[in-house]
Amino acid sequence: MRKVIIAGNWKMYKTRAEALEMLQKFLDQLDEIPEDREIVICAPFTALETLSKALHGTRVRLGAQNVHWDIEGAYTGEISGPMLAELGVRYVIVGHSERRQYFGESDSTVNRRLKAAQHHGLTPILCVGESKQQRDAGEAERLIIGQLEEDLADVDQTNLVIAYEPIWAIGTGETCESSEADRIIGLIRSQLTHPDVSILYGGSVKPGNVDEILAQPEIDGALVGGASLSPGDFLRIVDFKA
Ligand code: PGA
C-alpha cells in the first residue's frame, strides 16, 4: 500500500523559538485531520532536537534536509545518519534541487546519501525534476529517467519516498498542471521495481491547489516549502480533500 505523505520542507527558515511557536499552533488543531495521512516536518539541523522533544507523542514525524554518506569524518558542515537517528529523525530529504543547484550535489553523491540514510534507519525523500530550460527543450522525461537511474543504483526501494519537483515550479507560485504532474509521476513509477513507493509532488503547493493536485491518481502526497511555514496554511494542506 502506498502511503499518503504530506511533508513540509522548512529550508533555512525558523529559529528554535520560531519553530516552537509554529508547532504549538499547528499541533493544537491536528485532531480533526484524517488519520490516513503521514505528516512530516523537515526542519533545519539546529531545530531538530527542539522539535524532536516537542513532537514526542504526537503523530507528526521529524525529518531533516540532508545527510552525509559516512558515519563520521573530516567533512566540515555535514551531518551523519547516526547524528540524525539519535535525535529521533525518521525522514531525510536527499537531492533537493537547491542542493544540486547551489551546492554542487551530483547524482553520485545523492546515491551515496540515499544508501547511508537507509543504512541508519531513515526514510529518504529523493527529489528529482527538470529545469524550465530542460522542459522547454523537451528533455524533461529523459532527464528524470537519468536522475532515477543514477540516484537509485543499488538503493533499497522498500524504504524510499520520491518527490517530483519541477524546478521551475519551486518557490515561484507557478504550479505544474496537476494532470502533467500526474503524468510525470506515472512515468517515475514505471521506472521503479517496487510497487509501494510513495511519490509526492512538490512545487508551489498551497491551500488553494492542494485538493486538485492530490485528487490525481498517481500523486501520493506533497512536499511543501513556503506554505509549510505558516500553521494555518500547512493545516489546510494536511487536511486536503481528495
Ligand atoms: P515551494 O517549495 O512549496 O515553496 O515551492 C517546494 C520545495 O522546494 O520542496
C-alpha–C-alpha distance, residues 45 and 129, integer Å = 24
Residues 51-63 have pLDDT tens digits of 999 999 999 999 9
For residue 157, the CA-to-ligand 1 centroid distance in Å is 24
Residues 11-39 have pLDDT tens digits of 999 999 999 999 999 999 999 899 999 99
Residue 97 Cα: closest atom of ligand 1: 8
C-alpha–C-alpha distance, residues 50 and 48, integer Å = 5
Instruction: Check pLDDT > 90 for residue 83.
Output: yes
DSSP β-ladder status, 221-224 and 123-128 = unpaired
202: its cell numbers: 512538490
Instruction: Check pLDDT > 90 for residue 126.
Output: yes
Residue 65 · residue 11 · CB < 8 Å: yes
Beta strands in 195-240 (DSSP E): 198-202, 221-224
Q: Give the residue numbers marked as catalytic.
A: 96, 165
Report the nearest-CA residue for atom 7 of ligand 1: 225
Q: For residue 120, what pLDDT band results from cuts at 50, 70 and 90?
A: very high
For residue 8, the CA-to-ligand 1 centroid distance in Å is 9
- Ligand 1 and 97: CB distance under 6 A: no
- For residue 9, give every residue at least 6 positions away whose Cβ sits within 8 Å of its Cβ, in sequence order, or none: 42, 65, 93, 96, 202, 223, 224, 225, 228
pLDDT of residue 175: 83
Average pLDDT over every residue of 119-139: 97
Residue 193's domain comprises 4-238
Residue 225 · residue 201 · CB < 8 Å: no
Q: What is the CATH number of the domain that holds 123?
A: 3.20.20.70
Instruction: Check pLDDT > 90 for residue 48.
Output: yes
Residue 169 Cα: closest atom of ligand 1: 5
Residues 168-217 have pLDDT tens digits of 999 998 889 999 999 999 999 999 999 999 999 999 999 999 999 999 99
Q: What is the pTM of this model?
A: 0.98
Domain count, the chain: 1
Residue 127 Cα: closest atom of ligand 1: 9
- Ligand 1 and 233: CB distance under 6 A: no
- Ligand 1 and 224: CB distance under 6 A: yes
- 213 to each of 20, 39, 160, how far by Cα in Å? 29, 17, 21
Q: For residue 223, what pLDDT band results from cuts at 50, 70 and 90?
A: very high
